Amino acid sequence: MIDLHTHSIFSDGVLVPSELARRAEVLGIKAIGITDHADASNLDFIIPRIVTASERLNSLNRIKIVPGIELTHIPPSQIAALVEQARSLGARVVVVHGETIAEPVIPGTNRAAIAAGANILAHPGLISEEEVVMAAQKGILLEISARKGHCLTNGHVAKLAKKYGAELVLNSDAHEPEDLLTEQLARQIALGAGLSEKDFEQMQKNAESFI
């Protein structure tokens, strides 16, 4: 199991990176993306600290920390520049907080994230067919989310991704220890979204290929 979207105390999570990684490791997770919420105000504060954590822990633990960021509620016109800045600061996985129906995300965010080449478009809500085609063409991973509220459109995302050949990834979007996923629960979430066991295995392969 690989989980590329989680949060630590550097945004609205409750655990320091070392404890987050340890708790995930005990659940059998092989790699974890720590992708705290950021905008232009705190990007340069968060990423170097997660990079430091990964450098100090990855040689000691079985689990690997993938340093990243989740660009959250960013004006669409700023997304491309912040994706580039995040990578220059050392983020290996750049997530954009997509147009979930659970929050008032600015319309156009999904399209801007895909155009900017973000690695993962998190909880993209009622993403359009055209945007899914764009994601497929650019190799952007669309997220099936375990997070309350964000998961309400998993079926829609899964259906369009299958129709147009976009790649999927399943993430916890964990903020607290109890949010972390076992492989069994992750499989159930995939099946609940209308995906198959084969689809779940492919999502894991997508995450492994990204790592």
- Residue positions counted in the chain: 211
Do 156 and 130 contact (CB within 8 A), yes or no?
A: no
Burial class (CB in 10 A: 0-12, 13-18, 19+), 39: middle
Crossing angle of helices 17-26 and 43-57, in 10° steps, is: 50
Backbone angles phi, psi at 142, to 5 degrees: -95, 140
pLDDT tens-digit series, residues 64-105:
999 999 999 999 999 999 999 999 999 999 999 999 999 999
Residues 6+ away with beta carbon under 8 Å from 33: 3, 4, 5, 6, 65, 66, 67, 68, 92, 93, 95, 171
Neighbours of 44 (CB within 10 A): 13
Positions of the chain with pLDDT lower than 70, given as ranges: none
Ranges of each domain in the chain = 2-210
For residue 151, the model assigns a pLDDT of 98
pLDDT tens-digit series, residues 140-158:
999 999 999 999 999 999 9
Residues 6+ away with beta carbon under 8 Å from 123: 97, 98, 100, 102, 143, 145, 147, 150, 151, 153, 173
Rounded distance, CA 182 to CA 1, Å? 8
* H-helix or E-strand spanning residue 168: strand 168-171
Class of domain 2-210: alpha beta
- Nearest C-alpha neighbor of 57 from the set 37, 34, 28, 27: 34
